[in-house]
Chains A and B, each alone.
Chain A
């Protein structure tokens, strides 16, 4: 939308796969056109001014738009970062406009009102940060700590995040920055993420009576096949995905824990059965 009550959004893609952008485009009620054109919360909306997958200009004019916004709207724009930040070899594993992504992300963040780290890569490093992390990938929060940049960061993890989680987090930020009590230990909005998948899983009755699926495509709880639902906070069971048509466990696939910090390495091998006791102790210790 345009006008006085809009918040400029700069969407910066780093070491990712564009899956978070595609997931945002899958939003419904509000859908992408609503997000771009209408009020997201009463009286307030966003003005998306840089998004490399959607924008018209290419090359130099696109880069100028990216560089102009922090000059003209310092302290007033919201920075969305998608993808991990490659930091090895002076940042040369990831370049945009012939400048390392790490340098661009830091300089965009420095003058932003707040940063939304969208997706598990931008939040915590994600899959590119899996051992041996060849490109030295980190999440945007870690990058800002290293650079000594004090700007509020809200994590919106998920591989990819559900569009609803982005919409809820963006709406909260439009109404004013969330206080520290609203975020959990992993920097996520509690209102959006709180609750283990296992607690609301429609296959929970199978778990409770010990009816476990012996292999893919069979009925029963998926715990024996390596499901990470008991260790993963996310509202997938309540929301469903893609307009609610399905989600991982509804499609017979174990949860792989993609919203959690240290995904991938904490949960790989992804189909290994984890010990409930050990993991729940670790979970309680962390919280």
Chain B
């Protein structure tokens, strides 16, 4: 038996350690450990409630929109604000651009190097080959030299396209990272006709890259690594849905298990700290949760807490959104999903796997382009973009929304017009959580355990962990 501590896991957001025990060529036990705690939930206490929106988005520089959106929904709820239709559309357009950025970055720059041989990069590109050289993590490269070369060219092209996706966020959002325009009550920006035209043409430029390059590349990877639809499976999926417009969500919320979809009841969420460096016993709802940090807790091995829904750990993210969307979603989402699933030759059961997660991101990107074009055409440039707020003496609020990486929840309690309590459960809190009191592993731990490995497991573990697109700054705030 060998015990390998993979630390740092690179090409993800933030600080994650994964320990794997390999016995007879199989990972028999895995432990995920979040390695950084800043304490933003505690820093919020006593501050002005609106500060939460600006502070929580700084939990993460890759998906700040997710937190600025969840915090705004949370404060809309607490303050009783109903953003005007324009405000909702503009929020969705800004947030949609962030999804496109996230999926291009994740596929080309975070995940794809696990499948490429960068040693072929020569001349001006040679230093990039040096940076990407996998070291001991090489092996199982299946592309022809021509395919490998093309994908490396697209890696470089995608550096530009992901920058342009950030510019698309900033066009209405103000800047990226850390957008400014989304606020409780709506948005602050008032786009001109010229801004809308610029947005449309920038979106078209990205659409042409996504349709003409990203999707074909994705299908090529899925073809060469078809066995990765069986790798890293979890099977229990949860989504809060996202892109609300007049009470309906473009991606619907739902719990997916064995092909059946049930509605989400947010009162049945709990978070536990059994294996985490916090004081406290048992599970509690994030509305009530009090768990001060305790770096000396002996049995703990992670700063990540353990969220549970009806007592179970759930995978969250694109696989969950697409699986739920196939049952409850709009026709355009079903068409995009069925199209790519059939081209890859798999069924929806394959979504919760290494390659299924990659495929689900492609499905979302394709579908979102159309949805964003539609939202853009609905903007009323003369109409209001926000409603003014007034601060109640006491209030409670909840903001649930899917981020690019999965289900995200914010909870606030306001007392004396100040924040008395704030809790965040982020997508990677779900996916990378440690074992609970019953010894049940978190989703990434489960996905790793039982995996056959060729050597020390670095390559296989890296591919499985990265397929979840982990964001540790979100997982532990």
Contact = CB atoms under 8 A, between A and B. Distances in A.
B255 interface: no
A93 B295 CA distance: 7
Contacts of A250: 174
Interface string B191-209: 0000000100000000000
A84 B38 contact: yes
A106 B384 CA distance: 52
B17 A98 contact: yes
A51 B128 CA distance: 12
Given A33-B159, A241-B170, A159 B178 contact: yes
Contact of B11 (A28, A48, A53, A94): A53
A2 interface: yes
B126 interface: yes
Given A37-B124, A216-B388, A253-B174, A22 B62 contact: yes
B295 A95 contact: no
B131 A135 contact: no
A170 to B, nearest CB: 16
B131 A137 contact: no
Contacts of A128: 38-40, 43
B64 interface: yes
A135 to B, nearest CB: 5
Contact of B42 (A16, A51, A65, A134): A134
B35 interface: yes
B188 interface: yes
Q: Which residue of A59, A128, A135 has the most chain B CB atoms within 10 A of its CB atom?
A: A59
B136 interface: yes
A2 B5 contact: no
Interface string B37-63: 111101100111011001100111110
Interface stretch (B160-168, B234-242, B392-400): B160-168
B179 to A, nearest CB: 8
Nearest to B113: A56
Q: Which residue of B37, B125, B473 has the most chain A CB atoms within 10 A of its CB atom?
A: B37
Interface string B2-40: 001111111111110100000000000000000111111
Contact of B384 (A31, A58, A217): A217
Interface stretch (A139-147, A188-196, A199-207, A267-275): A267-275
A135 B38 contact: yes
Contacts of A177: none
Interface string A248-278: 1011110010100000100011111000000
A160 B389 CA distance: 28
A49 interface: yes
Nearest to A32: B159
Contacts of A86: 36-38
Interface string B363-402: 0000000000000000000001110110000000000000
A49 B131 CA distance: 6
B409 interface: no
A257 to B, nearest CB: 11
A13 B163 CA distance: 21
A127 B47 CA distance: 13
A259 B133 CA distance: 36
B43 A96 contact: no
A58 B137 contact: yes
B136 A60 contact: yes
Interface residues of A, number: 86
Given A16-B61, A53-B10, A242 B175 contact: yes
Contacts of B170: 241-243, 245-246
Contacts, number: 296
Nearest to B157: A33
Interface in B414-457: none
A135 B14 CA distance: 16
B176 interface: yes
Contact of B60 (A17, A135, A243, A269): A17
Contacts of B35: 94-96
Contacts of B303: 93
A135 B38 CA distance: 6
Q: Is the interface of B mostly helix, strand, loop or mixed?
A: mixed
A127 B40 contact: yes
Nearest to B14: A18
A27 B171 CA distance: 16
B247 interface: no
B134 interface: yes
B304 interface: no
Interface in A79-132: 84, 86, 89, 92-98, 101, 127-128, 130-132
Contact of A26 (B4, B36, B176): B176
Given A31-B160, A58-B137, A16 B174 contact: no
Contacts of B4: 59
B223 to A, nearest CB: 23
A212 interface: no
Interface in A13-38: 13, 15-23, 25-28, 31-33, 36-38
A54 B175 contact: no
B39 A17 contact: no
A248 B176 CA distance: 10
A141 B388 CA distance: 41
Nearest to A131: B43
Closest 7 A/B residue pairs (Cβ): A19-B61, A134-B39, A251-B174, A61-B135, A252-B188, A269-B48, A57-B135
Interface of A: 1-2, 13, 15-23, 25-28, 31-33, 36-38, 47-49, 51-65, 84, 86, 89, 92-98, 101, 127-128, 130-135, 137, 159-160, 214-217, 219, 241-243, 245-248, 250-253, 256, 258, 264, 268-272
Given A130-B43, A134-B43, A252-B188, 17 more contacts: A15-B36, A18-B61, A21-B61, A26-B176, A51-B131, A56-B11, A56-B131, A56-B132, A61-B134, A61-B136, A65-B135, A92-B295, A94-B35, A96-B7, A128-B38, A252-B181, A253-B181
29 contacts: A17-B14, A18-B14, A19-B60, A19-B61, A22-B62, A26-B163, A36-B128, A47-B127, A48-B131, A53-B10, A55-B11, A61-B136, A89-B296, A93-B38, A101-B36, A128-B38, A130-B43, A131-B46, A133-B43, A216-B386, A217-B189, A217-B385, A241-B175, A246-B170, A251-B172, A251-B189, A253-B180, A269-B47, A271-B48
